[in-house]
Amino acid sequence: MWLTTIVHTIQILLQTTIPAAPDDWSIARFDRLAQLLRAHRDCDGRVTFNVTARDRDPLGQPDSVLSRLDESGFDELWLFAVDNGDGLTPEDCAGITRFRQAGKGLFATRDHMDVGSSLCSLGGVGKAHHFHTRNLDPDESMRTTDDPFSTHISWPNFHSGANGDFQEVAIVAPVHPVLANPDSPTGAIRFLPAHPHEGAVDAPDGQPARVIARGKSKVTGKGFNLAVAFESSADGGRAVAGSTFHHFADYNWDARLGCPSFVDEPPGNTMQTEPQALRDTHRYCVNLALWLAGAV
Measured in whole angstroms, the distance separating CA 20 from the mean position of its chain's CA atoms is 19
Name the average pLDDT for the chain.
96
Which domains does the chain carry?
A: 10-292 (3.40.50.880)
Q: What confidence score (pLDDT) does residue 1 get?
A: 44
Q: What confidence score (pLDDT) does residue 43 get?
A: 87
Sign of CA dihedral 87, 28, 163, 168: positive
pLDDT in tens, 11-64: 999 999 999 999 999 999 999 999 999 999 998 899 999 999 999 999 999 999
**Residue 245 pLDDT greater than 50, yes or no:** yes
Q: What confidence score (pLDDT) does residue 3 get?
A: 52
**Residue 130 pLDDT greater than 80, yes or no:** yes
Q: What confidence score (pLDDT) does residue 6 get?
A: 66
pTM above 0.95, yes or no: yes
- Please report how many Cα atoms fall inside a 13 Å half-sphere around the Cα of residue 182, on the Cβ side: 3
Burial class (CB in 10 A: 0-12, 13-18, 19+), 14: buried
3 state DSSP class of 99: helix
Residues contacting 5, CB < 8 A, separation 6+: 42, 43, 44
Neighbours of 253 (CB within 10 A): 25
* Nearest-10 Cα torsion for 149, 203, 179, 170: 50
